[in-house]
Amino acid sequence: MIANKLANLTDAELQLMEKILHKEFLYEAEQNKTWKSKNSYERPFQRSRGIMNCITAIKGQRELNKTLETRW
């Protein structure tokens, strides 16, 4: 069901989501650096991995949309 909703989004909407997620990923990476310097051990990267999985899914959907959009 979620895949159907992603498929209905335009390329501009998918690019916007990707841009927002990229900013959030950069923020999370900075937080991980700060955590390591303060606490002398690494924080689990579960949230960063989740964000990267979302970015990968959006990129995949954009590529699929471009492939299906091919006009003859």
Q: In angstroms, rounded to a whole number, what is the distance separating the alpha carbons of residues 57 and 52?
A: 9
Query: Which domain covers residue 32, as residue numbers?
Result: 2-69
Q: pTM of the prediction?
A: 0.79
- Residue 25 φ/ψ, nearest 5 degrees: -65, -40
Average pLDDT per consecutive 10 residues, the chain (72 residues; last block may be shorter) = 76 94 93 80 81 94 87 58
pLDDT of residue 13: 93
Provide the domain count of the chain: 1
